[in-house]
Amino acid sequence: MIATHVCEVLRGTTTDAYGDEADTDTVVAADVLVSIIEGRKGQQVYASQSEMQRKPVEGRTTSTREFTGRARPGTDIRVGDRLRAYRVRDQGSVSIYLVEATYGAAGSPFGLPDLRMELRLIDN
């Protein structure tokens, strides 16, 4: 795995003044090296391509960008966490990804497999 981003893992929620659940920016891990590429496993995605999704609650169709992430084995990243990601070569640009799924690849005879994640860009 070649890391493309240095991430902070954000976890937790709170209740806002209106009684709604809101994400907190509690950092549970810092300086986590992650490889993030656009597209999901088995998909060929080009930089300008995205997936259209119908959002019935919002009553509109929106464009989403999906990504695959990989981290070192044993990294504590869970479904529902958010990754505040800084590019390795450009620390000025920050993106936030939602972890939608995590997978441990099939066992490797050469050591532990990387943690694979399905990510969705939620703030750029």
Predicted confidence band of residue 5 (pLDDT cuts 50, 70, 90): very high
Average pLDDT of the residues of the chain = 81
With a cut of 80, say whether residue 67 has pLDDT above it. yes
Q: Would you say 115 and 71 are in contact if contact means Cβ atoms under 8 Å apart? A: yes
Residue range 54-83: mean pLDDT, rounded = 80
With a cut of 90, say whether residue 9 has pLDDT above it. yes
With a cut of 80, say whether residue 110 has pLDDT above it. no
Report the alpha-carbon distance of residue 67 to residue 10 in Å, rounded.
Answer: 18
According to the model, what pLDDT value does residue 46 have?
A: 45
Residue (of 105, 99, 121) closest to 41 by Cα position: 105
| Sign of the alpha-carbon torsion through 35, 40, 46, 50 | negative
Report the alpha-carbon distance of residue 66 to residue 83 in Å, rounded.
Answer: 14
Q: DSSP letters along 57-77, please?
A: TTTEEEEE-EEEEEE-TT---
Structure confidence by residue, pLDDT tens digits, 42-60: 554 444 445 555 555 566 6
* Number of domains the chain contains: 1
CATH number for the domain harbouring residue 100: 2.40.10
Structure confidence by residue, pLDDT tens digits, 79-103: 999 999 998 877 678 999 999 999 8
According to the model, what pLDDT value does residue 99 have?
A: 94
Overall pTM surpassing 0.75 (yes/no): yes
> In terms of residue numbers, what domain contains 86?
5-123
